[in-house]
Amino acid sequence: MTSAPVEIGFSVVGAEVLTHAAQPMLNVTLAITTRQPLEGLALSCQVRIEPRRRGYGPEEERMLGELFGDRSRWATTMQPLPWLDTALFVPAFADRIEAALALPCSYDLEVAAAKYFAALVDGEVALRFLFRGTIFRRGTYGLEILPLPWDREATFGLPVRLWRQAIDARFPDAGWLRLRRETIGALLAFKGRHALSSWDEVMERLLSGAGR
């Protein structure tokens, strides 16, 4: 006898910054609904950025050139960006439950998603959450373990200001660049030669010499 499928739905109903996390972190509030009691859910979630679902101002257009090229090409180059994969275990519930899904935020500008976030002035980032996982429920003959239907997903507009607050909570007024060891060595030598006290001074001196 085949078990009846589980009717289950997902939506994202809010987001907040975790100010005391060890790294920049957001929590989104995930609302899960079902028509029958469940013993739990083991969820995995892929979060994608859908850049075509919003507009862009002139400054944002300039900053997004590295990711998508000239605006005339965006119809073909502006594709969804994978942001992160995360996981969550949801305890037993009936009807509806809200759960916090943690989203670590990176300011590594080698990562496409971080470049995208950093390029935005304001507004919202259009996100799509794709869920997969395992459902645990009580059946006629005991505990049943079922796969989550493959088409479960949700969308959400994440305010850009929340991402900036998450980054600033750990790295106020700062960013990160990944450099080769040889480049770091050359910068250290330059810093020492010119008796510069900070990396900002190093970059300002180099940019000034290059005519910006």
Give pLDDT tens digits for 113-172. 988 998 999 999 999 999 999 999 988 788 899 999 999 999 999 999 999 999 887 766
- Burial level of 28, CB count in 10 A (0-12/13-18/19+)? buried
> Is 125 a domain residue?
yes
Asked if 153 and 131 touch (Cβ cutoff 8 Å), the reply is: yes
Inform me whether the pLDDT recorded for 107 exceeds 70.
yes
In a domain, 2, yes or no: no
Task: Assess whether 16 and 116 both reside in one domain.
Answer: yes
For residues 84 and 66, membership in a common domain is answered with yes
| pTM score | 0.81
Question: Is residue 199 in a domain?
Answer: yes
Asked if 133 and 83 sit in the same domain, the reply is yes
137 plus 193 within the same structural domain: no
> How many of the other CB atoms lie within 10 Å of CB of 19?
12
**pLDDT tens digits, 15-48:** 999 888 778 899 999 999 998 899 999 999 999 9
Q: What is the pLDDT of residue 176?
A: 62
Indicate whether 7 pLDDT > 90: no
Query: Are both 113 and 194 inside the same structural domain?
Result: no
Q: In whole angstroms, give the CA distance from residue 47 to residue 31.
A: 16
Domain annotation covers residue 97: yes
94 and 18 share one domain: yes
pLDDT of residue 1: 46
Say what angle helices 199-209 and 181-193 make with each other, to 10 degrees.
Answer: 90
Residues 159 and 58 reside in one and the same domain: yes
- Whether the Cβ atoms of residue 84 and residue 104 lie closer than 8 Å to each other: yes
| Tally: H helices and E strands in the chain | 7, 8
| Domain carrying residue 78 | 8-173
Residue 80 lies in a domain: yes
> Which residue do the tokens 């996982």 mark?
133
Shared-domain flag, residues 130 and 190: no
190-210 confidence digits (pLDDT tens): 877 888 777 778 778 888 876
Judged against a pLDDT cut of 50, whether residue 52 lies above it is answered with yes
- Residue 23: its pLDDT value, please? 82
